[in-house]
């Protein structure tokens, strides 16, 4: 029988097992046998996939005469999406003639060209994107055994400057009118950013221009970097679930009533963020926005501006 099957991956140039889309992944598979075995083939499969899973409580009612019975049950919602599933035969072929192996240790080298459109590895509350190498043996009785997974990570280094729409400067305006018994004027809040393609570790300048024609003071300005994760399952039916959180906040100045002011602030993008991946994965969609809120005094509703942004590893260079 097979005692253990070991897969040894070659590290990248940095000495880690973190690879990039489009690169060639290489490794060695070691098959130790302690007795004579008849097999059809040995193979390894390089797998990359996204999977989501959550449960929800549902109920149905049944009427029998004047009696209504409520049945409660749990539904498991799940989905799976494959990005790569490349099998390499190291010895023999699927459904090929039997090969008799004597006891010993068999070693094989393998390689796999990774696709260019792979999303980065990640793990979230309701799903993950994972990559691994799996070894397989097809025995003489036509059954296949899959052995332990050897994981590796994928990191995308997209140049956001390749997307012209992310290089354009942004100017967004929000007008807030104040009316009590009579109108007291309006607050005009304008947000200016150099571009919407941002990189982890980047310091992003944000200008908030206030023209306050009302008597209401803006106590302070809050700038939030917000993350939204949209999960999509396809079983037992297609539906979605959302997670959102505030990654970081910056508090800046406000403006008095009947005054104008330009407020400049810096938003430092954390270096440990998962990059936006809406172009590469259908089941786990990670997106970001910068939310600017003018916090008012009294019982007024705060005006807000929401700016969708894309976060990657290489920032978009502002359009000249």
DSSP string across 47-110: EEEEEEEEEEEEEEEEEETTEEEEEEEEEEEEEEEEEEEEEEEEEE-TT---EEE-SEEEEEEE
Furthest-apart CA atoms within the chain: distance in Å: 95
Neighbours of 103 (CB within 10 A): 10
pTM across the whole model? 0.89
**Residue range 249-283, pLDDT digits in tens:** 999 999 999 999 999 999 999 999 989 998 899 99
Specify whether the CB–CB gap between 222 and 304 falls below 8 A: no
pLDDT at 15: 87
The percentage of the chain sitting over the pLDDT mark of 70, rounded to a whole number, equals: 96
Closest to 307 (Cα-Cα) out of 223, 221, 248: 223
What phi, psi does 25 have (nearest 5°)?
-100, 135
| Beta carbons within 8 Å of 290's beta carbon, 6+ residues apart | 193, 204, 206, 223, 224, 225, 226, 267, 306, 307, 309
Neighbours of 76 (CB within 10 A): 11
| Structural domains for the chain | 6-154 (2.60.40.640), 160-312 (2.60.40.640)
Closest to 24 (Cα-Cα) out of 134, 116, 120, 150: 116
**Residue range 191-243, pLDDT digits in tens:** 999 999 999 999 999 999 999 999 899 999 999 999 999 999 999 999 999 99
pLDDT, mean of residues 148-162? 89
Residue 1 above 70 pLDDT? no
| Beta carbons within 8 Å of 224's beta carbon, 6+ residues apart | 246, 247, 248, 249, 290, 291, 292, 293
> What does the mean pLDDT of the chain come to?
92
pLDDT at 169: 94
Chain mean position to CA 304 = 26
Specify whether the CB–CB gap between 19 and 11 falls below 8 A: no
pLDDT at 13: 83
pLDDT at 183: 66
Residue 180 above 90 pLDDT? no
């Amino acid at each position: 029988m097979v005692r253990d099957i070991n897969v040894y991956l070659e590290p990248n140039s940095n000495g880690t097992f973190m690879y990039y889309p489009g690169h060639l992944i290489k490794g060695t598979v070691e098959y130790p046998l302690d007795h004579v075995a008849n097999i059809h083939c040995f193979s390894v499969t390089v797998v990359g996939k996204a999977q989501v899973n959550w449960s929800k409580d549902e109920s149905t009612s049944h009427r029998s005469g004047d009696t209504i019975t409520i049945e409660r049950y749990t539904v498991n919602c799940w989905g799976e999406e494959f990005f790569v599933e490349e099998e390499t035969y190291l010895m023999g072929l699927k459904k090929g003639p039997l090969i008799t192996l004597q006891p010993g240790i068999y070693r094989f080298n393998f390689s796999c060209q990774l696709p260019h459109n792979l999303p980065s590895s990640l793990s979230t509350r309701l799903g993950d994107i994972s990559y691994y190498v799996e070894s397989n043996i097809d025995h003489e009785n036509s059954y296949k055994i899959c052995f332990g997974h050897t994981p590796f990570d994928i990191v995308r280094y997209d140049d956001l400057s390749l997307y012209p729409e992310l290089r354009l400067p942004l100017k967004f305006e929000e007008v807030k009118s104040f009316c009590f018994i009579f109108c007291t004027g309006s607050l005009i809040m304008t947000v200016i950013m150099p571009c919407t393609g941002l990189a982890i570790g980047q310091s992003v300048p944000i200008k908030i221009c206030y023209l306050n024609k009302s008597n209401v003071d803006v106590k302070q300005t809050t700038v939030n970097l917000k993350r939204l994760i949209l999960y999509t399952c396809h079983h037992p039916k297609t539906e979605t679930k959302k997670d959102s959180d505030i990654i970081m906040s910056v508090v800046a100045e406000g403006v008095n009533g009947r005054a104008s002011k330009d407020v400049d602030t810096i938003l430092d993008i954390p270096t440990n963020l998962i990059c936006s991946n809406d172009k590469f994965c259908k089941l786990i969609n990670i997106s970001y926005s910068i939310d600017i809120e003018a916090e008012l005094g009294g019982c007024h509703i705060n005006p807000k501006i929401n700016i969708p942004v894309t976060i990657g590893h290489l920032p978009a260079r502002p359009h000249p």
